[in-house]
Chain A
Amino acid sequence: MLRAENLCCGRHGVAVLRGVSLTLQPGQLLGVLGANGAGKSTLLATLAGELPAMSGSLTLHNQPLSQMRPAAQARCRGVLPQSPSLAFELPVRAVVGTGAYPFPEVSPAQLEHLIDRALVLADASHLASRRYTALSGGEQQRIQFARVLTQVLAHRAAGDYRALLLDEPTASLDPKHQWLLLQTVAQLARDEGLAVLVILHDVNLAAQWCDQLLLLAGGSVVAHGPPDAVLTPAAMMSVYGMAAQVVMHPVDARRRMVCFVG
């Protein structure tokens, strides 16, 4: 399991975030909320092995992440960064297929099947024959989502640990596809036992789909727990600096909704 204890992370020697302890549990969705500059992406980059931990411990299967080869890390963790780009015109299926690169043992037939499945899950099957660079930003985002799904689903035996780190995956998606993406992620977490960390800006979307929320502000963790427990007006004030009311969802009485009032 990917586990951080008292983690301090930052870039170029400047600490951005301190004292983060979290465990990405199989079957669970951990949502990360915070204002711009709160250190969400720095946390994700550290968990993704791009940035070294400045202090504290960061382990994957009880082994320090810094001592694991990227190839070994890639076999149990997929990452979807923000603003994907593509230098040259790669066919859409080839882009999705790159997700299977850490698994050379996957046969061509298995790969084709895997790509089909990932495209369906990302609701992007109809984009497979289009040119990647001709796709819209949101469509490209869905292709990239299919790519990381391929990576976390490839050659997976029951019980294998797979972590999925998503950095604002809903940023350029329409409401329907935001909904569909998180529904897919939640379902995969449940059915395939994926351990998911997702950075979101939409508090209510996070409240609806995440099992746990991590609220960041002022360089440290403000709250960490189930949505119902952490989404309070006080927490919203310290995270976003905005007054908010927490009300009952008009359709589903068990759920809470956050309304910002200024």
Chain B
Amino acid sequence: MKSLLSVVFYLASLTALAAPPQRVVSLGGPLTEVIYALNAGDRLVGDDASSLYPPAATKLPQVGYYRAFSVEGVVALHPDLVLASDQAGPPAAMAQLKQLGVKVVVLPAGATLDALEQRVHGVATALGLPDDGGKMVATIRQQVTALTATPSNVRALFVMNRSGKLEGAGKESTADAMLALAGARNVLAAQTGYKPLSAEAALSLAPDAIVTTRMSIDASGGLQRFLALPGVAGTPAARNGRVVVMDDLLLLGFGPRLPEALKTLKAGLDAPSPAAAK
């Protein structure tokens, strides 16, 4: 993994020595967000269906979802650089893209501070903006360190409603990483990934706070209905109105807005009589 990354950085630095790329395609929402944060959004000629922030990203031609993108769609945009998440695929499509001589830089998608820094560095170097990238990484690191200095120590549950049923986040999920950074303790640490939430288990875990996303609240039919859902109603969190609702991409994007996301999350978790629930 380390050696792969160093190769990526090597390739990226080679790219930086040549003229900076002017036609960039991004495969993965977090990368798109970094590109815009580096003020290089005008160089993007296309992105994928997961690129929803900033809103300008949704106006660009989209080459499909980054895990099932169209090779031809990318090629048709005549890119001189493709920035791809390491989750982009299918693998055959990535291989074809490289075969066609398109310059591809692959960056880690992980929900860790290290991966975020590598993403920012990688994108910045590939775009010929290594100094801006360095500055951004330094800012993020400094702000996150300040925020993590005071752990929340709340027993928290993250739930999300994607398909009509509540799913809880266990370890190795982005939501778990966010809770950890905020210093909260994930009550579902015994499970891995997103799994359907058992109402009984949720009651017995008795979380002090529930974290969820704006889309999940909408999918549940509003906050009142959400609070009445089995597994939510009856928990100390619901009784005390300690429910933190955050924008999906802000909470789970793990991009340059990480400090802002952490600040909002901590504010919600630490509020004595939370305003977010009202």
In-complex A–B contact (CB below 8 Å) = no
